[in-house]
Amino acid sequence: MSRPTIGFAGLTHLGIVSGAAAAAREFPVVAFDVDPARVADLAAGKLPIVEPGLPELVQQHRERLSFTSAPADLRACAVVYVAPDVPVDESGASDLEPIRELIQRVAGHLAPDATLVILSQVPPGFTRALGRGPARTFYQVETLVFGRAVERALEPERFIVGCADPSAALPGPLAGYLEAFGCPILRMRYESAELAKISINTCLVASITAANTLAELCEQIGADWSEIVPALRLDRRIGSHAYLTPGLGIGGGNLERDLATICRLADQHGTDAGVVRAWIANSAHRRDWALAQIHERVVARVKEPVLAVLGLAYKENTASTRNSPALALLAALGPFAVRAWDPVVSAAPEFHPRLTGAASALDACVGADALIVMTPWPEFRELRPDAVASRLRGRVVIDPNGILDGPAFRAAGLEYARLGQPLRGATG
Amino acid sequence: MLTHQWPNAENPSRVFMLGGGGFLGRAVRAALDAAGIPSVAPLRSELDLGADDAGERVAAMLQPTDSVLMLAAVTPDKGRGLAPFMQNLKMAAAACAAMQKVRPAHVVYLSSDAVYPASAARITEETCTQPPDLYGMMHLAREVMFKTEVQAPLALLRPTLIFGAADPHNSYGPNRLRRMARKDGRITLFGQGEEMRDHILIDDVVALIRLALCHRSTGTLNVATGQSISYADLARKIAAQFERPIEIAGTPRQNLVTHRHFDVVALHKAFPSFTFTSLDAGLARAHREMLEQA
């Protein structure tokens, strides 16, 4: 039996990765975007995003991937996913107008029996409010993680599908497509599925915030969070995959968007979101950890410091700088000279008025009073303490994520600080 | 947090000081003089802000190009309760009335961290204001008065406990502890001095006021060092500066222990190059100046 054609409309991170994963599951894919230039680039194998394994995946299954800017080409599809990333503003509020426009544009070209699935991040109530035929309109939770998007698209933990009537069977082509991934399929009403996505992120934020709160306490009382984490992971109530790694806030944009949605809905309906607001405040506080360290360890001691910043992307294995802690840090380093290096993001003048792009991670260290590792790119693990020490003018190494070998850097005479470790002991 | 109308610092054309004759006002004026920034600071004998015609008199002296620095206040050491509360509001009302007649170029109001609840152990500019007493309520009311009644760029500075040898105030802090040690050879603490507080040297407060004036800053900023210390440790540091042994004595605790720490990231962002005088250096300077004054 031939496999149905699956369409993806909106070729940003989510749409590209999801389309490639569908092709990898041997479904013919029509990948549509309104931007002809983007489509031409994709057709030529030029990917507009950085995602480990994606170039190979697209290349391997290229014959099943058809890129187009003609919406009429979606008429061949039994299932069409609408999957653009939803833009958010600085407060985390979603701009839903682009996805509404895209749905309207796509809907006019669907085959009569085609199924439309909203895959983008939309707030509760969005799908039902579209007012489309309930039997052919669904919402599906996406769980894309930048840097691990391919792995998660190919091997999803489960599918969560929002339906007008959860007791009714899914349309055959959609069911067949989802079953090809061999994971549980959870059907629920639209609003539950839309809130399920937010619920997942809320639980993650709760874990991250707990880790950040306790890591900060560790820094002050002589405890080491990295020693505590293994004990927590062995507790079945917490689990081996729990988000327990402290970080510079919650980062990334999508989590903030969902927290903003909760606050908005809670305010609208009079429910209590006080704890969510506390998480947001804690995130803002921890985001500035590196800045506070720089002031305490460098600015207070050195007249005109030069700072080496490694990493500009918001996390490793991505070129995205949205909500990047590194860029937030640069914005607060106004008068100081900064030398920066990132494997995929170029040091742009708009990031900082006195920013110099270095040729390599070690080159960034030359003549600097402090090294600050803002993005935990795996390649930074290879930095040798003696090589760093010989290039730095100062002795300070600030490594929030602990990507470097802290004991080795301390042994090399460097003053090493990371999240969750005693800060007093870090003073060399 | 603060934003700067002048990202690159410039000298304001003139600073009009209300309350320029006090401990802090004199220090600010000296710093402005040293920086070549013209200033006027009417003496209490020339201008009584509590007088009924004070608003008109201030307006007559004020120029539209002035930066107004409002320091005038009846502080708790001069009295607590309703009378000073109302007196302080009257002074602020006079300042507002004057600035409604002659809109200045910039206003800097020196408020207080007393606007925050006593129970708030960690303070940022985002911490909800909830004054525990009339003094804190007075500063909060004045902040609102300046925000709503004056149409000029406004910076609200909320200092923590200020110390310096010339400070006539004798509130529970380095000044009182040093004076106790000098007079009695003994420092008496509330309880065992467990409370953590942030103490800032007057020189740093003056420098930050000057920065706010020279950047024509707007918004709210806590003026604190970000480093808190217990009164017990503070007493030990102060005692160590005397040649003779100083006894440090606790007393039965009357109140619950409260702590106060400031997150000063907003200050770092507002003035990235600013560095604080360390507490040790500040205490040493205050001690030295006290001996010089003797």
| Domain CATH number, residue A281 | 1.10.1040.10
B44 — pLDDT class (breaks 50, 70, 90): confident
| Domain CATH number, residue B222 | 3.40.50.720
Residue A424 lies in a domain: no
* Per-residue pLDDT reduced to its tens digit, B229-267: 999 999 999 999 999 999 999 999 988 999 999 999 999
* B8 in contact with A, Cβ within 8 Å: no
The amino acid at A367: G
Which of the listed residues A230, A261, A286 is the one where a domain comes to its end? A286
**A291, B269: Cβ pair inside 8 Å?**
yes
Nearest chain A residue to B124, by CA? A285
Q: What's the pLDDT score for residue A256?
A: 86
Nearest to residue B288, comparing CAs of B199, B160, B161, B166? B166
**B272, A336: Cβ pair inside 8 Å?**
yes
Interacting residues of A390 by C-beta distance below 8 A, sequence separation 6+: none
Q: What is the mean pLDDT of residues A396-406?
A: 96
Burial class (CB in 10 A: 0-12, 13-18, 19+), B18: buried
Confirm if B201 and B167 have CB atoms less than 8 A apart: no
* A44 in contact with B, Cβ within 8 Å: no
**Beta-strand pair A65-68/A29-32:** parallel
Residue A270 lies in a domain: yes
Nearest chain B residue to A330, by CA? B269
Q: Would you call B156 helix, strand, or coil by DSSP?
A: strand
C-alpha span between A319 and A313 (Å, rounded):
6
Residue A422 lies in a domain: no
Mutate to test the interface with A, among B4, B265, B267, B277 (most CBs of A within 10 A): B265
Residue B211 lies in a domain: yes
A398 and A277 in a common domain: no
Q: Hey, what are A336's tokens?
A: 């100081």
Q: What is the DSSP letter of A94?
A: B
Residue A425 lies in a domain: no
* A285 in contact with B, Cβ within 8 Å: yes
Using an 8 Å CB-CB cutoff, list chain A residues near B263. Answer: 285, 292
Q: What is the DSSP letter of A285?
A: H
**B265, A288: Cβ pair inside 8 Å?**
yes
A301 and A261 in a common domain: no
A424 — pLDDT class (breaks 50, 70, 90): low
* pLDDT above 90 (res B171): no
Rg, chain B, Cα only: 19
The pTM score is: 0.86
A277 and A214 in a common domain: yes
Give the helix/strand (H/E) hosting A9.
strand A6-9
Interacting residues of A136 by C-beta distance below 8 A, sequence separation 6+: A113, A114, A115, A116, A171
Mutate to test the interface with B, among A248, A283, A291, A295 (most CBs of B within 10 A): A295
CB atoms within 10 A of CB B183: 8
**A332, B269: Cβ pair inside 8 Å?**
yes
Complete DSSP assignment for A200-223: HHHHHHHHHHHHHHHHHHHHHHT-
* Residues within 8 A of B (CB atoms), A 150-209 only: none
Residue B181 lies in a domain: no
A293 and A281 in a common domain: no
* B262 in contact with A, Cβ within 8 Å: no
C-alpha span between A340 and A308 (Å, rounded):
6
Residue B249 lies in a domain: no
Interacting residues of B219 by C-beta distance below 8 A, sequence separation 6+: B1, B2, B3, B125, B155, B156
Q: What's the pLDDT score for residue B202?
A: 96
Burial class (CB in 10 A: 0-12, 13-18, 19+), A7: buried
| Domain CATH number, residue A21 | 3.40.50.720
A172 and A302 in a common domain: no
Burial class (CB in 10 A: 0-12, 13-18, 19+), B11: middle
Using an 8 Å CB-CB cutoff, list chain A residues near B264. Answer: 292
What is the extent of the structural domain holding A316? 288-417
Interacting residues of B128 by C-beta distance below 8 A, sequence separation 6+: B116, B117
- Here the ipTM equals 0.87
Q: What's the pLDDT score for residue A426?
A: 46
Residue A367 lies in a domain: yes
Q: What are phi and psi of A161, to 5 degrees?
A: -120, 125
Using an 8 Å CB-CB cutoff, list chain B residues near A291. Answer: 265, 268-269
**B272, A299: Cβ pair inside 8 Å?**
yes
| Residues of chain A by 3-state class (helix, strand, coil), percent to 5 | 45, 15, 45
Using an 8 Å CB-CB cutoff, list chain B residues near A289. Answer: none
Q: What's the pLDDT score for residue A252?
A: 65
Give the helix/strand (H/E) hosting A355.
strand A355-357
* B255 in contact with A, Cβ within 8 Å: no
* B194 in contact with A, Cβ within 8 Å: no
* Per-residue pLDDT reduced to its tens digit, A163-215: 999 999 999 999 999 999 999 999 999 999 999 999 999 999 999 999 999 99
Out of A281, A285, A291, whose CB is closest to B268? A291
Q: How many domains does chain B have?
A: 1
C-alpha span between A169 and A390 (Å, rounded):
66
Nearest to residue B249, comparing CAs of B260, B236, B262, B240? B236
A249 and A355 in a common domain: no
* B101 in contact with A, Cβ within 8 Å: no
C-alpha span between A385 and A413 (Å, rounded):
9
Crossing angle for the helix pair B82-101 and B54-61, to the nearest 10 degrees: 40
Residue B44 lies in a domain: yes
A217 and A145 in a common domain: no
* pLDDT above 90 (res A389): yes
Residue B214 lies in a domain: yes
Residue B290 lies in a domain: no
* A291 in contact with B, Cβ within 8 Å: yes
**A288, B273: Cβ pair inside 8 Å?**
no
A410 — pLDDT class (breaks 50, 70, 90): very high
Which of the listed residues A160, A189, A218 is the one where a domain comes to its end? A189
* Per-residue pLDDT reduced to its tens digit, A43-70: 999 999 989 999 999 999 999 999 999 9
**A292, B226: Cβ pair inside 8 Å?**
yes
Q: How far is A198 from chain B (nearest CA, A)?
A: 26
Confirm if A102 and A158 have CB atoms less than 8 A apart: no
Q: What is the mean pLDDT of residues A387-412?
A: 97
Using an 8 Å CB-CB cutoff, list chain B residues near A279. Answer: none
Using an 8 Å CB-CB cutoff, list chain A residues near B276. Answer: 300
* Mean pLDDT rounded to a whole number for chain A: 94
Residue B47 lies in a domain: yes
* B9 in contact with A, Cβ within 8 Å: no
A107 and A24 in a common domain: yes
Confirm if B209 and B28 have CB atoms less than 8 A apart: yes
Nearest chain B residue to A303, by CA? B273
Nearest chain B residue to A328, by CA? B269
**A285, B269: Cβ pair inside 8 Å?**
no
Nearest chain B residue to A277, by CA? B126
Least reliable range by pLDDT among A253-257, A360-364, B252-256? A253-257
**B273, A335: Cβ pair inside 8 Å?**
yes
Confirm if A77 and A7 have CB atoms less than 8 A apart: yes
Complete DSSP assignment for A136-153: GEEEE-----TTSHHHHH
**A332, B272: Cβ pair inside 8 Å?**
yes
* Per-residue pLDDT reduced to its tens digit, B124-145: 999 999 999 999 999 999 999 9
Strand partners, B249: B188
C-alpha span between A81 and B105 (Å, rounded):
57
A144 and A260 in a common domain: no
Residue B291 lies in a domain: no
Interacting residues of A239 by C-beta distance below 8 A, sequence separation 6+: A233
* Per-residue pLDDT reduced to its tens digit, A317-344: 888 888 889 999 999 998 999 999 999 9
Give the start-end residues of each E strand in A210-329. 306-310
What is the extent of the structural domain holding B25? 2-163+200-226+260-276
C-alpha span between A23 and A161 (Å, rounded):
20
A392 and A357 in a common domain: yes
Interacting residues of B103 by C-beta distance below 8 A, sequence separation 6+: B64, B150, B151, B152
Q: What are phi and psi of A253, to 5 degrees?
A: 100, -45
**B265, A292: Cβ pair inside 8 Å?**
yes
C-alpha span between A175 and B24 (Å, rounded):
75
Residue A212 lies in a domain: yes
Confirm if B235 and A261 have CB atoms less than 8 A apart: no
Q: Hey, what are A2's tokens?
A: 């031939």
* B3 in contact with A, Cβ within 8 Å: no
Handedness of CA A117, A122, A125, A130 (dihedral sign): negative
Q: Percentage of chain B surpassing pLDDT 90? A: 88
* B245 in contact with A, Cβ within 8 Å: no
Residue A234 lies in a domain: yes
Least reliable range by pLDDT among A84-88, A159-163, A297-301, B217-221? A84-88
A292 and A281 in a common domain: no
Confirm if B75 and B169 have CB atoms less than 8 A apart: yes
A301 and A172 in a common domain: no
Mutate to test the interface with A, among B275, B276, B277 (most CBs of A within 10 A): B275
* B271 in contact with A, Cβ within 8 Å: no
Which of the listed residues A189, A222, A254 is the one where a domain comes to its end? A189
Residue A166 lies in a domain: yes
Q: Hey, what are B106's tokens?
A: 């910039």
Q: How many domains does chain A have?
A: 3
Confirm if B58 and B98 have CB atoms less than 8 A apart: yes
Q: What is the mean pLDDT of residues B21-32?
A: 94
